[in-house]
Amino acid sequence: MHYLPHTPEDIAHMLEVIGVDSIDALFADMPQALHNPNINVPAGLDEVSLLNHLRDLAAKNQTPTGGLLGGGTRQHFIPSVTPHLAMQSEFVTAYTPYQPEVAQGLLQATFEYQSMMAELTGLPISNASMYDGASSVAEAALLAVRQTKRKRVVVSTGVHPEAREVMATYLKPLDIAISEVNLEQLTTSTDVISNELGDDVACVIVQNPNFLGYLETMPTLAEATHDVGALFIAVVDPLSLAVLASPAEYGADIAVGDGQVLGNPTNFGGPSFGFMTVTDALLRQLPGRIVGETTDVDGKRAFVLTLQAREQHIRRSKAKSNICSNHQLAALMATVNMAALGPQGLVELATSSVRAAHTLANKLEASSLNVLRGTFFNEFVVQTNRPATDVRRLLAEHNIHAGVPVSPSYGLGDAIILAATELTQDDDIINLVDALSEIDANIDANQVDTPVEKVLEVAHD
């Protein structure tokens, strides 16, 4: 029996103490009809066969290298020391720190996490983590609705399409209207946003860099938002905040995003974690757990879950959210990783990523590929002569994993998003440029669409 300690003698002894004569007797409360269901799951495996099975499955995957895939999740350098420390079994096999006297390890690490996220975003209050970036966007919108008591949310299509979908799913039953504002020339126009604004708007949600990779004019967007008394919600790539202006600097009320890039592997999309930081004014509306500092009876500094009156286990149907388990272990990976990299390392990662992406873009253009110019961070759009998913598949045949398809709703025709990180080597760039040139050229003339007009380069680029 895998993982079970019970010997036949143990079982006999325990049954006798309980005063029943079989294990089945313990289940006598269950209606007879429920017993012995036919459950079609294969027989158990020894450990070698088990790992062989998993290895066989893994062998049917190809593992990307070179950090060319983006779209909300990217491969970045994670030093060996990070998982070594974050995955210590004392951390991994604990749960929510309900007993602070014996959970200072995770409570303090979470306090450090909150401090780091506050530092990155510039907003003073961070919760302890949420599920992921997309659901954090939805929770941020709900927060804004609670705070402002208004029932319309304005969101730029520069926000990750999946985050917008999640938000729509969350908001639908609550009769909260969503106004989506399309990008103009790859970014969100303050004018167009302003046209959508009114005193029924709870918040404006803008992502920076946006889903396509380009930088938004966050300060003017935030100003326009505040003009109508709405909250400005910045969806941010936390790694980019090593170098980009922080949400606090441009006046955001709430910053949310996905923390994967801070030190979690790509994991086919999960688990990573969502983060949320807010201004002091919004503290009591914040969903999720929060760790606070206090002292113990001896006067020693100590950390504890606090302000729990916001949460479901205290407030039940009146809670700010139903969230209970969060994504603390993934946040711990990020905490240790940020401490391992330090500000200098984080700046190096961000800077190298930006440089690699710009080098890639330049090389692609030099090979006559259709790079959409604008001020981009480390992802950008290339228009292609074939459907995006075909391009991605053909690249995969070259063992290059790149090319997040751009949805037709962006009106950019066939297009892919390319990314680069500090892991992108010159060879990766050359191979991608070569393969993409070949794929893009090598196409039936009658299949070729007219590419949309190339967007003008932004001034300071």
Partner 1 sequence: MIKEPEAPVTTPITTSSKQLEADFPLIFERAKPGRRAAHPPVREGADLADLLGADNLRQSPPKLPEVSELDLVRHYTQLAHRQMSIDANAYFLGSCTMKYNPKVNEEAAKLFADIHPYQDPDSVQGALELLYNLQSYLEQITGMDAITLQPAAGAHGELTGILMIRAYHDANGEGDTRTKVIVPDGAHGTNPATATMVGYKVVEVPTAASGEVDINALKDVLDESVAAIMLTNPNTLGIFETNILEISRLAHEVGAQLYYDGANTNAIVGRARPGDMGFDVVHLNLHKTFTTPHGGGGPGTGPVGVKAHLADFLPKPRIKQEVTTDGTRFDFDEDIPHSIGRMRSYYGNFGNLVRAYTYICALGCEGLKDVSGMAVLNANYLRIKLKEAGYNVPFDRINMHEFVAQPPDGLKTLDIAKAMLDYGVHPMTVYFPLVVKEAMMVEPTETESLETLDAYAEVLADVLKRAEHDPDFLHEAPFDTPVRRLDEVKAARQPVLRYASEPS
- Give how many residues touch partner 1 by CB under 8 A: 216
CB-nearer residue toward a second copy: 357 or 417:
357
Shortest Cβ distance from residue 110 to ligand PLP (Å)?
A: 16
Which three-class secondary structure state does DSSP give residue 65? coil
Q: Considering only residues 59 through 78, tell me which ones interact with ligand PLP, judged by CB under 6 A.
A: none
Q: Is 30 left (phi over 0), alpha (psi -120 to 50) or beta?
A: beta
Q: Considering only residues 23 through 82, tell me which ones interact with partner 1, judged by CB under 8 A.
A: 23, 25-31, 33-37, 39-51, 53-64, 69-73, 75, 77, 79-82
Shortest Cβ distance from residue 174 to partner 1 (Å)?
A: 5
What does residue 383 show for φ and ψ, rounded to 5 degrees? -85, 145
Pick from 15, 64, 77, 112 the residue near a second copy by CB under 8 A: 77
Q: Is the peptide bond before 271 cis (omega within 30 degrees of 0)?
A: yes
Pick from 40, 61, 317, 325 the residue near ligand PLP by CB under 6 A: 325
What is the contact mask toward a second copy in residues 395 to 424, using x (rule: CB under 8 A)?
Answer: ---------------------------xx-
Residue 120 near residue 112 (C-beta atoms within 8 A): no
Which segment (18-26, 182-190, 226-234, 444-452) binds partner 1 by CB under 8 A? 18-26
Spatial distance between the Cα atoms of 378 and 456, rounded to a whole number of angstroms? 18
Residue 89 is a binding residue for a second copy (CB under 8 A): yes
Q: Considering only residues 276 through 295, tell me which ones interact with partner 1, judged by CB under 8 A.
A: 283, 289-295
Shortest Cβ distance from residue 144 to partner 1 (Å)?
A: 15
CB-nearer residue toward ligand PLP: 324 or 443:
324
Q: Is 46 left (phi over 0), alpha (psi -120 to 50) or beta?
A: beta
Residue 91 is a binding residue for a second copy (CB under 8 A): no
Integer distance in angstroms from the first to the last C-alpha of the chain?
64
Residue 241: name the closest of 169, 157, 130, 346 by CA.
346
Pick from 47, 175, 298, 444 the residue near a second copy by CB under 8 A: 47
Beta pairing partners, 257: 275
Pick from 11, 25, 177, 324 the residue near ligand PLP by CB under 6 A: 324
Q: Name the strand (E) or helix (H) holding 191.
A: helix 190-196
What is the contact mask toward partner 1 in residues 191 to 220, using x (rule: CB under 8 A)?
Answer: ------------------------x-----
Residue 254 near residue 144 (C-beta atoms within 8 A): yes
Residue 352 near residue 154 (C-beta atoms within 8 A): no
Shortest Cβ distance from residue 77 to a second copy (Å)?
A: 6
Which single residue is written with the structure tokens 């974690």?
273
CB-nearer residue toward a second copy: 6 or 84:
84
Residue 80 is a binding residue for a second copy (CB under 8 A): yes
Q: How many CA atoms lie within 13 A of 403 on its CB side?
A: 27
Q: What is the b/e burial string over 87-118, where b = at least 16 CB atoms within 10 angstroms of the residue's CB?
A: eeeebeeeeebeebeebbebbbbbbbbbebbb
- 173 DSSP 8-state letter: G
Residue 219 is a binding residue for a second copy (CB under 8 A): no
Shortest Cβ distance from residue 130 to ligand PLP (Å)?
A: 12
Which residues of this chain interact with a second copy, rule CB under 8 A? 47-48, 51, 77, 79-80, 84, 89, 422-423
Which residues of this chain interact with ligand PLP, rule CB under 6 A? 324-325
